[in-house]
Amino acid sequence: DQQVKQNSPSLSVQEGRISILNCDYTNSMFDYFLWYKKYPAEGPTFLISISSIKDKNEDGRFTVFLNKSAKHLSLHIVPSQPGDSAVYFCAATPGSSGSRLTFGEGTQLTVNP
């Protein structure tokens, strides 16, 4: 039972354009959501998070949007840069901490120069 789902295995965008990565979840108990970025042969690194009391959180070029009624969140990267090319994982947890996470399958983002 995949409680966190990223339906797009891959996404390709041009440098300077917006990248939108999507994530859906099924567990109503999830109330804290995170995005991690992963380069090959490295561990994931934390990118941005959002609590269920908010619908948007912004950090520089990265913005996460949360639609609780649709159980959907998205990560917007603008403008996209070639260095953003990586696998992006969405994760969720039924608590305010970042621990005991349930991860999605990941989306490979490729930003073309």
Partner 1 sequence: DGGITQSPKYLFRKEGQNVTLSCEQNLNHDAMYWYRQDPGQGLRLIYYSQIVNDFQKGDIAEGYSVSREKKESFPLTVTSAQKNPTAFYLCASSLRNSPLHFGNGTRLTVT
Chain residues binding partner 1 by CB under 8 A are 4, 6, 9, 34, 36, 41-46, 49, 89, 91, 96-106
45 or 112, CB closer to partner 1? 45
Q: Closest distance between partner 1 and the C-beta of residue 15, in Å?
A: 27
How far apart are the C-alpha atoms of 46 and 49, rounded to whole Å?
8
How far apart are the C-alpha atoms of 73 and 96, rounded to whole Å?
17
69 or 99, CB closer to partner 1? 99
How far apart are the C-alpha atoms of 112 and 62, rounded to whole Å?
18
How far apart are the C-alpha atoms of 48 and 101, rounded to whole Å?
14
Q: Closest distance between partner 1 and the C-beta of residue 46, in Å?
A: 4
